[in-house]
Amino acid sequence: MSGAGFDMTTMGTVLPRFEHHVSIDPGVKDAWGIPALHITQRYTDNEYEMAKDSMNVARSCAAAPDSK
């Protein structure tokens, strides 16, 4: 079918690391007055490589099959 389209989303896992943590931020409160969470984490080369791989797999899944 010509002109058809679709959306695709990929998701990955961030590996647990000692530096990743969640704490309560007493200075920031939500609309109900509950202290907000402060999340500390960072992506490493591993996560960036996994993201690139997931995009390559998605591209491969979406590609037209070879005609034989």
Region 59-68 average pLDDT:
76
**pLDDT band at residue 6, thresholds of 50, 70 and 90?**
confident
- Is residue 31 classed exposed, middle or buried when 0-12, 13-18 and 19+ CB atoms within 10 A define those classes? exposed
Q: How many helices (H) and strands (E) does the chain have?
A: 1, 2
Region 6-17 average pLDDT:
87
Which residue, chain included where needed, has tokens 């969640």? 22
Per residue in 15-42, pLDDT tens?
899 999 999 998 999 999 999 999 999 9
The pLDDT assigned to 46 comes to 92
Q: Tell me how far apart the terminal alpha carbons of the chain are, to the nearest angstrom.
A: 19
Structure tokens at 60: 């491969």
Q: pTM of the full predicted structure?
A: 0.62
Q: Which residues pair with 35 in a beta bridge?
A: 29
